[in-house]
Chains A and B, each alone.
Chain A
């Protein structure tokens, strides 16, 4: 099936890199992929989002208008993209920063306290990876190993030491989904 995901949050929450890692991993697994960022003034301190498509079919439009999943890192993201999710689609909300609940009752919703977990891990910048871990556990779009392989590529040698904490963050995100059954 085609996975069409919107990942959204504040600038600096690692929204773009989350999308890129997912796309990269999809490519490594031989799937057809695309990544499309929002760009321009809205990037300067406002919300940032990107659309990722991972599919066995051809990728036509890289824009996601009907998402199979939305990963919302903050409240404006939830408000903006909640309505784009297909019926029976998936919504992952960063409950550390979002108090509200979804208004949709026809989708699957997971609340992940991503920032709290990231803080527990001693690196608040891996909140995005906690969210990604939850998303992967739920959808199995790509394997966590492919994500880590992608991460190594993106980080390069000088930041190799950041791999373990990212790996841990993925696991914690996945664990939360597992625990909820």
Chain B
């Protein structure tokens, strides 16, 4: 198929529809409003249902209901709205239901701002809601990747019966890039567990996250963690760029990874060899990739680049485990680091080596 020029938010919505998503529940919030608008326009044309809920809380609970009824369903929001959805996300995980949740991140805390940020990293990868749980968190860095990860995200959610989150930011949501929708036949899996009505003689289907007996709950959580182990085994995605013979490796995801590539080019022109590790799954985190490069003699240090006060840097430090120094540089509140400032930071690190 030919390339089309699309906004990130619209591309997400179109990709979801092409992936067979027919149900969308959401609530307005900037900078993700193009997603519900696109869904409101397009879903009725394909026999689907768009519903603007009374709140993000209701929206995620509608997703919970629709997912339990067997639908391929999604919601999208931005940081403050995602905070409101945390209760529902925890229930969806607990009840083992698949769905896709998109967070087009803006600056926080509180009402914060509306410009792009990456300050919801902790919330996305460390839980967010209550209880022991994880979800696969996908961090696209181009519009094309957004499209591809939406499709894969639904499949991963179905495979494990666990929600999947796409973590974008205001810039990726608002910008336009050429994108190609690859012809891919969507096969929706059978969902014999869905509550579609209890036919005589068949066991009842119950969607539930309540386990009043502690042993029962522990068993349930252990079962969830078996799935998380499988996700760690199967779902890690990472891009390594220019890492061979790099002296400093930048770690960055999403928008920051794009900027990192500019920095690498600028550094190269000045004879400085910089590499990039770009986690595509923020959870499961590409621990082994970091370990591997931390063990190479030519790598002297890591630098985590974030649009936050330093969140992913903690996971990098855990992965590198003291083998090499891990530095951090970031801006927050909607400020985006410039390649120039980052290069200055790199030069400072080199002086210290």
Contact = CB atoms under 8 A, between A and B. Distances in A.
Judged by CB atoms under 8 Å, the answer to whether A and B touch is yes
Interface of A: 20, 23-24, 27, 33-37, 39-41, 57-63, 65
Contacts of A58: 261
B115 interface: yes
Closest 5 CB pairs of A and B: A60-B262, A35-B176, A61-B259, A60-B261, A36-B175
B261 A33 contact: no
A40 B177 CA distance: 20
Contacts of A65: 338-340
A60 B3 contact: no
B175 A60 contact: no
Contact of B5 (A24, A40, A41, A60): A24
Contacts of B238: none
B114 A39 contact: yes
A36 B261 contact: no
B175 A39 contact: no
Contacts of A59: 177, 258
B178 interface: yes
B49 to A, nearest CB: 27
A33 B3 CA distance: 12
B5 A27 contact: yes
A8 B134 CA distance: 43
Interface in B1-50: 3, 5, 30-31
B336 interface: yes
A59 B336 CA distance: 16
Given A23-B5, A60-B261, A60-B339, A34 B31 contact: no
Contacts of A62: 171, 175, 177, 258
A60 B170 CA distance: 16
A26 to B, nearest CB: 9
Nearest to A40: B114
A34 B176 contact: yes
Contacts of A40: 30-31, 114-115
A61 B5 contact: no
A161 B31 CA distance: 34
B338 to A, nearest CB: 5
A63 B171 contact: yes
A22 B353 CA distance: 45
6 contacts: A27-B178, A35-B176, A36-B175, A60-B262, A61-B339, A65-B340
A35 B172 CA distance: 10
Contact of A35 (B5, B258, B339): B5
A129 B261 CA distance: 33
A97 to B, nearest CB: 26
A27 B3 contact: yes
Contacts of A36: 171, 174-176
Nearest to B259: A61
A60 B258 CA distance: 4
A180 to B, nearest CB: 32
